Structure 1
Amino acid sequence: MDIIVTSVGAARKNGPEGDFIRQVIAPITERNLSLGTSAQTRFVQRWSEEGETHPAFASCVHLSRLAGDYIYPAMKGADEQGFDAAIVGCFGDPQLDQCEAGLSIPVIGFGKAGMAAAAELGKRIGIVTPAPMLIEPTFRQAADYGYGEMVIDVIATPETAAEQEEAVVNAGPSIKIFHELARKLIAKGADVILPGCGLQSPALRLAPGVEDEWPGGVRHIDGVPVVDLLGVVGLYAERAAMIQHMHGRGCNGVKAVPLSAGFWES
């Protein structure tokens, strides 16, 4: 089974951005997505060369540009290219509606799947978002998906975007800060904690650089479950594709449809 992941980070294939993705981001993202899926399921990450600098991520060294306006263009035709399901690789789920309408395969969004999983694990959701400017959009997103009354609070990490980017190499400082933030949410009544970013997820679940200290990753804090965001997304995408296949729907094998100009895969 092949699943396409259209990543929100914009990156040039050749040069430091592409090297960082191939050497760091793509491998750890795939590891996290694959934790709950079968060994036969393959995740292909697709990137846009074009993107805009977002204030919340401007300090990132490698991934300061976001391709939110290019998610659907990157994903368009994925069903004809033989993919079984698609993933919108950003918690804000940019262009999710367009992707769902334009593709014949299941489309899973980080945010929508993450909130659904949190609602299965608890009744009072606390969310940690990567920047203060994303707090209100996250509240609105939860309301749009029907989870507004379950979200007790959304708080932002004090880390800079560059520090969050570094966490996929050395997660130690981020894990410590996440514990502090989670405990604030737990004190407010949260019984499940949801990381609100695709970079947070592998940093917490795989604990790169501090695997000896956190051999199983951060799965609970003071007995309160922490959603494995990417692990859940991978599982949901695989499950949705399997349901399609059970009913005689889905792809019929890879077809000769070329990748559009301006996009590349890792």
Structure 2
Amino acid sequence: MRLLLLNGNTDAAITAMLARHAAEAIPRLGLPAAELDAVTAAFGARYIATRAAVAVAGHAVLAALAEHVGPDNPRGYDAALIACFGEPGIEAAREVMPIPVVGMAEASIAAALAIAPRIALLTGGALWVPMLEEFALVRGHGRDRVLVRGVTPTGDMIARDPDGAVALLAEVAREAVADGAGAVVLGGAGLAGLAARVAPSVPVPVLDSLDCALAAALGGRTLAVRVAQAPAVGLSAPLARWFG
């Protein structure tokens, strides 16, 4: 199998970290062996933490997917994974991509709800809390099913100092458990790989959002949905091929 892992943030160090964790996780999770191509968005925020950054990242994700996959998928990708917890542009990507497109939050919510009827999403950056609450609500999951919790450090801060974040993440995860969460997802590119370190201090399962997305992308549980597009102007040449 061949998987395109696309970091919608523009921090190449985060992309490299995701690629390392993904390469380790695939055999650990018992997933099919896969050739992994990790790509960084060409423009936008260094690390997405606001609504404006999400909006720009949606364009950047589509442009990167158009460049690397295009309408004909000449490189033979089996799936694409948008490695941002906010999943910028994922619905739009599914309209135009010839292959399945997987997101970290969507896959994590599904995996966690298979474990417990009420779960928590825990991420970095306070501004993500209302955005992820809306994300879950649009997908039919209210606060009675999906709690959202955030810590003050943003995901890129956590990625730069993971040792300093473990205790804080564990503390907030335990608070979510006290509020009824039967499983906790550590969500975000910058938090990849930390679930195993947080889990011993939390009395319920702690899931890694990258692991969940890899399982969805390589486990054959995704669908591609394409929709014809009207002509557009002012786009990059690869992206324009999808329109008209």
Please tell me the TM-score bracket, short chain as reference.
Answer: 0.7 to 0.9
SS at the partner of 1:195? strand
**1:108: Cα distance to partner?**
0.6
**1:9: Cα distance to partner?**
1.5
Partners of 1:137 and 1:22 in 2: CA distance: 23
On the 8 A contact 2:120/2:148 being kept in 1, the answer is yes
Q: Is 1:69 matched with 2:59?
A: yes
Query: How has the CA–CA distance of structure 1 residues 39 and 218 changed in structure 2, closer, same or farther, with 3 Å as cutoff?
Result: farther
| Unmatched 5+ stretches in structure 2 | 51-55, 224-236, 240-244
Q: Deviations over 1:99-157 (max 9, x none)?
A: 11111211111111011111111111112121111111101111112222544532211
Aligned counterpart, 1:138: 132
Q: Is 1:44 matched with 2:37?
A: yes
On the 8 A contact 1:118/1:125 being kept in 2, the answer is yes
Partners of 1:187 and 1:121 in 2: CA distance: 17
Structure 1 stretches (4+) deviating beyond 6 angstroms?
none
Question: RMSD between aligned alpha carbons?
Answer: 2.8
Aligned counterpart, 2:6: 6
Task: Choose which of 145, 168, 176 in structure 2 pairs with 1:177.
Answer: 168
TM-score when scaled to structure 2? 0.77
| Unmatched 5+ stretches in structure 1 | 12-17, 58-65, 206-216, 245-258, 262-266
SS at the partner of 1:56? coil
Partners of 1:140 and 1:24 in 2: CA distance: 28
Query: How does 1:1-266 map onto structure 2 within 5 Å?
Result: 1-11=1-11, 18=12, 20=13, 24-32=17-25, 35-38=28-31, 40-52=33-45, 56=49, 67-76=57-66, 78=69, 79-161=73-155, 163-167=157-161, 171-205=162-196, 217-219=197-199, 221-240=201-220
**1:2: Cα distance to partner?**
0.4
Query: How has the CA–CA distance of structure 1 residues 150 and 22 changed in structure 2, closer, same or farther, with 3 Å as cutoff?
Result: closer
| Percent sequence identity over aligned pairs | 21
Range that drifts further, 69-78 or 186-195: 69-78
Q: Which amino acid aligns with 1:27?
A: R
TM-score when scaled to structure 1? 0.71
Partners of 1:55 and 1:102 in 2: CA distance: 23
**1:8: Cα distance to partner?**
1.2
Work out the number of aligned pairs and report it: 217
On the 8 A contact 1:34/1:231 being kept in 2, the answer is no
Partners of 2:114 and 2:59 in 1: CA distance: 31
Q: Deviations over 1:232-258 (max 9, x none)?
A: 2111101127x88xxxxxxxxxxxxxx
Query: How has the CA–CA distance of structure 1 residues 28 and 152 changed in structure 2, closer, same or farther, with 3 Å as cutoff?
Result: closer
Q: Which amino acid aligns with 2:213?
A: V
Query: How has the CA–CA distance of structure 1 residues 260 and 33 changed in structure 2, closer, same or farther, with 3 Å as cutoff?
Result: farther
